[in-house]
Amino acid sequence: MDRFVTHEVAADVTVRVGRAMPELPAVVEREVERLWQVAARRVAAGGAGSMFNGRVFSADAITPHCVTGHLTEYRRVIAQIERPELFATLGLRALAVCGVLCCAGGVVLGQRHRAAVYQPGMWQTAPAGSVDAEAVAADGTVDLRRQLLSELQEELGLSSAATGTPRPLCIIEHPANHVADLGLALTSYLNAEAILAAHRNTGNGEYEQVVVVPGTELSAFLAKRGEKLAPSAAEFLIRAGLICQI
């Protein structure tokens, strides 16, 4: 698989803030702001909501037992997604948590909004989202479980009481924009109907569609998505033992 770089992670992997956000040259700051404004207008015009420039975690070093990095502005991440060549200056590896949520009915998959700034219209394991400053403790450690369960509540409308403990799978770094997706296997005690109802009733609209695909149909479902399948999805499902290949 040469579409991405895989970083192995241990079951006890820790994530920690190790330094402050660096200053940028004025010319780079102006370009970041320009790209942010362009992306924000596009997302709003497409009906995908408004973007917020909060602080998110960017990985500086990734090892199986420890990921260290810094908090950066979300607008810098967006600028690098919009212009991947800015990695040479910004050096960002924005860390995101990607749940592989299973229930008795199968695996939960979501199709991102067609106007989303990142991977628009693509199918991914759900929930998923950037690791933000709310998950960082006073000592600089990052609570991945808290971040994933926050995404679970916001995107799918499910409380933490409906799931077990997340299990780290691996980190997939996308070579074009260096977004680093950390897969986490998660099991829900709810059935498929309850999960879909929660999404309809209280989900935040991150996904245009959410489905629960039975295990026996999973490989065929993914194969039919083709280029609309997020590159990391199949690898996470393989690591979780849910498919052999597609």
Report pLDDT for 245: 77
Q: What is the pLDDT of residue 23?
A: 97
Residue 156 lies in a domain: yes
pTM for the structure as a whole: 0.95
CB-CB contact of 84 with 176 (8 Å):
yes
d(CA 74, CA 85): 17
Domains in the chain, number:
1
In a domain, 246, yes or no: no
Residue 157 forms part of a structural domain: yes
Partner residues linked to 171 by β-bridges: 7, 182
Question: Is residue 145, in this structure, part of any structural domain at all?
Answer: yes
pLDDT at 1: 41
**How do beta strands 123-125 and 128-130 pair?**
unpaired
Per-residue tens of pLDDT for the chain, all 246 residues:
447 899 999 999 999 999 999 999 999 999 999 999 999 999 999 999 899 999 999 999 999 999 999 999 999 999 999 999 999 999 999 999 999 999 999 999 999 999 999 999 999 999 999 999 999 999 999 999 999 999 999 999 999 998 999 999 999 999 999 999 999 999 999 999 999 999 999 999 899 999 999 999 999 999 999 999 998 999 999 999 999 876
Tell whether 245 is covered by a domain.
no
Domain that holds residue 56: 5-239
The enclosing domain of 93 has a CATH number of 3.90.79.10
Contact 65, 13 (CB under 8 A): yes
Q: Does residue 97 fall inside a structural domain?
A: yes
What is the Cα 172 distance to its own chain's centre? 10
The letter for the amino acid at 27 is V
Q: In this structure, is residue 59 part of a structural domain?
A: yes
Q: Is residue 136 part of a domain?
A: yes
d(CA 196, CA 204): 13
φ, ψ of residue 218 in degrees (nearest 5): -65, -50
Q: Provide the residue type at 219 as one letter.
A: S
Q: Please give the distance of CA 113 from its chain centroid, rounded to a whole number.
A: 14
pLDDT of amino acid 205 = 85
Q: How far is CA 37 from CA 53, 94, 100, 202, 225, in A?
A: 11, 19, 32, 29, 31
Residue 42 CB neighbour total at 10 angstroms: 15
